[in-house]
Each structure stands twice: as C-alpha cells, then as structure tokens.
C-alpha cells in the first residue's frame, strides 16, 4: 500500500492501476468496483497531494456503457473539472455504470434481495443508479476519503440518477444535478408518435421540444413524482441551460423539489454546449473554458464548499 491506502500492485479482487494524467502531476487510480450482483464497474479516482482523508466529489455524465475506455478518456479529456476540484482540496472520480434500461426504474419496482441455494437472489437486475450507490459505498472505505463528506455531480442522465439515488439512499452530503434529464423520475408522458422510435418503440422524449416548465408540469405524474421527491433528504443544486430543449424539464425538477419543501437551489446559464460544466480539451491540446464555464464551475465548487467543508 502507498500512503493514500491505494494498492500499487494488482490484487485480482481489488484492482487498482495508476496512470499519469496529461499536464498534471496528480495521477489517476483506475479501479473496478463490485456492484450488487457481483459484476464490476470502472472508476478513475484522483486525490490531492497528501494522505487525507479528503472530501470527495463523484462525477457522472449521461447514460452508461463503454466501460473503462470511457473513464480513461474522460480523465484525460474532460479533466478540467477534476483539476479545479483537486486544487480546492477534493478527491474526485469519474464514474461509469451500466446502460439505462428503458422504463426500468418505473416498471421494475424496488430491488429485493433474497437467497436461493445459499446464493444471492434478486427480483430484477440492478439499475445504473444502483451501480453509483455501490461506488459511493466503495469509496467510503478508502483511507484517503472522508466518508462523511461525499458529494455528487451528475450531468444530463447523470443528473436524473442523482434524483433516483437521493430518493432512496441518504449517504451523501449534497449533490449537483446539472441539466438533469428527469423524464423517468418525474413520469413525464410523451406527446404523440414523435415520443417513440418507430423501429424499437422505445421512448425518445429527449428528442422533443418539450416547452416550458408549466407545460412539463402538466404532463408529469405529479402524485408519483412528489412521492419520490418527499423521501429526498440531500441538498441539491439544479443547474439549467437557457437554450436547451429540455430546459422546461430542468426547471420543473427544481420547482417540484421546492414544492415538496426540499433544500434545493437553482441556477441557469446561457451556453451553447450541453454539459457546459464539463469542459472538453480543445483542439489545441489545452483546456480553454469560456467565462460561462468558469463561472458555473466556481458556483459548483462554492456549493460543495458550503456542504462538504463545514
């Protein structure tokens, strides 16, 4: 073990591989985390210099799949947010998880665990947000992490996952849901045939021009959405994007959180990129965040400071 408590040799049951990060003296520790059903999901964890324990922010973006290849690319090319978090004294990790199951959250029901022939028996497969809960529980065991100071930052589907997680799991101190595509969590009913892919019949509500929050609120299953929201105990900052066709969904998410009396805040930015809070390495080979991105990231870190550095 090195001073951070992370293995420097490969243990088949606790794999950790350390790689350098471009233009940084802080490496990434690539790990495989066991999920509920015994399969593994990858993360790339970085920590400030020193032994810690440090507060940690876990980063998620969009739908799952692509595995460790995606994590390694995110660390190397979406790493600006990590550099800012590290400089502010946070450990941080990019996460990956299994792909979203169409309506799996709405139709699968609560995950139940039993035993058959002395082995784990489940009533359904774990879902992607449950992989993130497994990751949260894993990082809390690391000596370099302060398990009482865990924050989440999720963008798009990763933002919706924050709502699913905090609705039933109360082990994080705060969360930022950036541009949360909360269709399923809010039980948003699609309008007409344009809501479905004609070949697969899977919903395509993220392709619609959904309109303002008032229109969204008229189409959600308000009773179910509020029942889910009422169990949330975690402070959440919701971030919108002015020109996004899902802005009404983002704002409706915030308004329902506030209606239920939750500790929720709202901020919205005008930026051309979906995922503006995660600047991507430019063609020059450097990160070139614009003023909106710099301001939004400063807002996020200030929010984490309020909740994780008390």
| Alpha helices for the chain (secondary structure H) | 67-77, 80-87, 104-107, 128-139, 157-168, 183-186, 213-219, 222-230, 247-259, 291-308
Lowest mean pLDDT among 158-172, 182-196, 211-225, 243-257: 182-196
Whether the CB-CB separation of 266 and 159 falls below 8 Å is answered with no
Percentage, residues of the chain above pLDDT 90:
81
Task: Give the pLDDT of residue 13.
Answer: 86
Structure tokens at 124: 């359904």
The residues near 123 (Cβ < 8 Å, ≥ 6 apart) are 109, 111, 112, 114
Reference 88, options 139, 147, 46, 130; nearest CA is 46
Reference 85, options 2, 42, 1, 24; nearest CA is 24
Task: Give the pLDDT of residue 1.
Answer: 47
Question: What's the mean pLDDT in 105-129?
Answer: 92
Confidence at 206, pLDDT banded by 50, 70, 90: low
Residue at token pair 């088949």: 12
- In whole angstroms, give the CA distance from residue 155 to residue 125: 24
pLDDT of 7 higher than 90:
no
- Averaged pLDDT score across all residues of the chain: 92
Task: Give the pLDDT of residue 142.
Answer: 97
pLDDT of 195 higher than 60:
no
pLDDT of 198 higher than 80:
no
pLDDT in tens, 16-67: 999 999 999 999 999 999 999 999 999 999 999 998 899 999 999 999 989 9
CATH homologous superfamily of domain 53-308?
A: Alpha/Beta hydrolase fold, catalytic domain (3.40.50.1820)
- In whole angstroms, give the CA distance from residue 283 to residue 269: 24
| Greatest extent of the chain over all pairs of C-alpha atoms, in Å | 59
Task: Give the pLDDT of residue 208.
Answer: 60
Taking the domains of the chain in order of start, what are their residue ranges? 53-308
pLDDT of 280 higher than 90:
yes
Residue 185 preceded by cis peptide, ω within 30 = no
Question: What's the mean pLDDT in 76-99?
Answer: 97
Most confident of 108-112, 204-208, 266-270: 266-270
Instruction: Give the count of alpha carbons within 13 A of 14, CB side only.
Output: 10
Q: Which residue has the higher pLDDT, 206 or 246?
A: 246
Reference 266, options 177, 206, 183, 187; nearest CA is 177
pLDDT of 6 higher than 70:
no
The residues near 6 (Cβ < 8 Å, ≥ 6 apart) are 16, 18, 29, 45, 142, 144
Whether the CB-CB separation of 55 and 91 falls below 8 Å is answered with yes
């Amino acid at each position: 073990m090195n001073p951070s408590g992370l293995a420097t040799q490969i243990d088949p049951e606790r794999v950790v591989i350390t790689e350098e990060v471009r233009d940084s003296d802080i490496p990434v520790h690539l790990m495989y985390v066991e999920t509920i059903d015994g399969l593994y999901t990858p993360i790339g964890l970085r920590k400030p210099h020193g032994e810690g324990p440090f507060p940690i922010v876990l980063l998620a973006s969009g739908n799952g799949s692509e595995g460790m290849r995606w994590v390694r690319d995110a660390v190397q090319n979406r790493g600006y947010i990590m550099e800012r978090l590290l400089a502010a004294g946070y450990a941080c990790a990019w996460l990956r998880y299994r792909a979203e199951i169409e309506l799996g959250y709405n139709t699968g029901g609560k995950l139940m665990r039993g035993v058959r022939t002395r082995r784990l028996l489940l009533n359904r497969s774990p879902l992607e947000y449950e992989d993130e809960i497994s990751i949260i529980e894993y990082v809390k065991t690391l000596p370099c992490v302060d398990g009482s100071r865990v924050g989440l930052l999720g963008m798009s589907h990763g933002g919706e996952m924050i709502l699913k997680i905090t609705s039933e799991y109360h082990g994080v101190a705060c969360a930022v849901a950036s541009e949360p595509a909360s269709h399923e969590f809010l039980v948003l009913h699609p309008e007409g045939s344009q809501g479905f892919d004609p070949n697969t019949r899977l919903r395509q509500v993220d392709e619609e021009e959904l309109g303002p929050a008032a229109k969204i609120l008229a189409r959600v299953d308000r009773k179910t959405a509020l029942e889910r929201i009422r169990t949330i105990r975690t402070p959440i900052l919701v971030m919108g994007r002015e020109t996004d066709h899902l802005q009404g969904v983002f704002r409706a998410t915030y308004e329902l959180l506030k209606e239920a009396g939750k500790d929720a805040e709202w901020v919205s930015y005008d930026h051309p990129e979906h995922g503006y809070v995660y600047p991507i390495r430019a063609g020059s080979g450097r990160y070139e965040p614009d003023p909106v991105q710099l301001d939004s990231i400063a807002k996020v870190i200030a929010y984490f400071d309020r909740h994780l550095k008390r």
